[in-house]
Amino acid sequence: MAIRTPLALLAAALTFAGAATVPATTTASAPDTNSPSTSPTSTAVTGSGATSSYLPGDLDREQNQRLKEQLAQAKARARADRANGVQRAPAAVTTVYYDASEAPSFDSEISGTQQIWNGSVSNVQLVEDPSRATLYFEEGSSANGSYYQGDGHGSGLVFLDYDQANTYAPLRIVAHETGHALGLPDRYSQPCSKLMSGGGPGPSCTNAYPDSVEASEVDTIWQYGVAHRPAA
């Protein structure tokens, strides 16, 4: 099955346990063409600097660094505003529409992820609407495990791997990869309490919730980052 995200948008991929390639954008812009993965069996996704995984690996370093830099820039803008006494109007809430029709086995985990993130952040919300989707969920088997392909601004692909979901907590996998779609990088060395530590803490870690710092970072990204930055 083809992914409906244009390759032009596929600029970065984040995986739960391996490597991959990627999408892009906020009502994040829609995807459209063929993608590097196919269900039910996906071949390895390739692309320099295009992957961030659930488990530590070499192939996602460039992409992860890019997301870290984007987050750092958003935080720097927020600090500058505070230092200069700038009062910005609250960010307009951005809606990221998604399509989960190609991941029926993970329906409850995707719905749970929507509730988790929508209850944790204010500046961006996830809404299921295939007709307007810019973020797509697919399931299957991949040598890369589960991964996200995208630029971290609400569009792209979350691929969910069967074998990995049998080893690691599936809700945590889905919530983690969706965290990439919202702009967060991997932080494998952090504890289980950090959602973006992914598979770093091991299979026994089942926490599927971002902590207060991670939630605040997402709100900062969507107010001050590339995704959305209101005028002063």
Residue tagged active-site, from 109, 138, 139, 177: 177
**How many angstroms separate the CA atoms of 96 and 54, rounded?**
22
For the residues of 4-43, what is the DSSP string, one character each? -S-TTT---EEESSS----------PPP-S--S--SSEEP
Q: How far is CA 141 from CA 45, 179, 211, in A?
A: 12, 21, 30
Q: How far apart are CA 198 and CA 107, in angstroms?
A: 20
Measured in whole angstroms, how far is the alpha carbon of residue 80 from the centre of its chain?
27
Q: Has 177 been annotated as catalytic? A: yes
**Distance between CA atoms of residues 126 and 134, nearest Å:** 11
Residue positions annotated with a catalytic role: 177
